Amino acid sequence: MTDSLVHYETHGGAAYLTIDSPHNRNAISQRLLADLRAGLQRAAADDAARAVVLTHTGTTFCAGADLKEAAANGAGTDPRSRTLAMIGAMRGIVECPKPVIAQVDGHVRAGGFGLIGSCDFVFAGPAASFAVTETRIGVAPAMVSLVLLPHLPSRVASALLLTGRSFDGAQAAEYGLITAAVDDPAAAVADQLAELQLCSPQGLRETKQILWHDVLRSFDERAESLGEQSARLFGSAESVEGITAFLQKRAPSWAEPAPSA
Domains and CATH numbers, the chain: 6-184 (3.90.226.10)
Higher pLDDT, 261 or 14: 14
Q: How far, rounded to the nearest angstrom, does the alpha carbon of residue 113 sit from its chain's CA centroid?
A: 4
| Close Cβ partners of 32 (under 8 Å, ≥ 6 residues apart) | 5, 6, 19, 21, 26, 66
- Give the CA radius of gyration of the chain: 18
Which residue type sits at 226? L
Q: What confidence score (pLDDT) does residue 190 get?
A: 97
Tell me the average pLDDT across 212-239: 94
Which residue type sits at 15? A
Q: In angstroms, rounded to a whole number, what is the distance separating the alpha carbons of residues 179 and 189?
A: 11
| Beta carbons of 144 and 113 less than 8 angstroms apart | yes
Q: Where are the strands (E) in the chain, listed by range?
A: 6-11, 14-19, 51-56, 60-62, 100-104, 107-109, 121-124, 129-131, 166-168, 180-181
pLDDT digits (tens, 9 = 90+) for 80-115: 788 889 999 999 999 999 999 999 999 999 999 999
pLDDT digits (tens, 9 = 90+) for 136-157: 999 999 999 999 999 999 999 9
Predicted confidence band of residue 1 (pLDDT cuts 50, 70, 90) = very low
Which residue type sits at 115? L
Residues 232, 235, 241, 243, Cα dihedral to 10°: 90
pLDDT digits (tens, 9 = 90+) for 111-135: 999 999 999 999 999 999 999 999 9
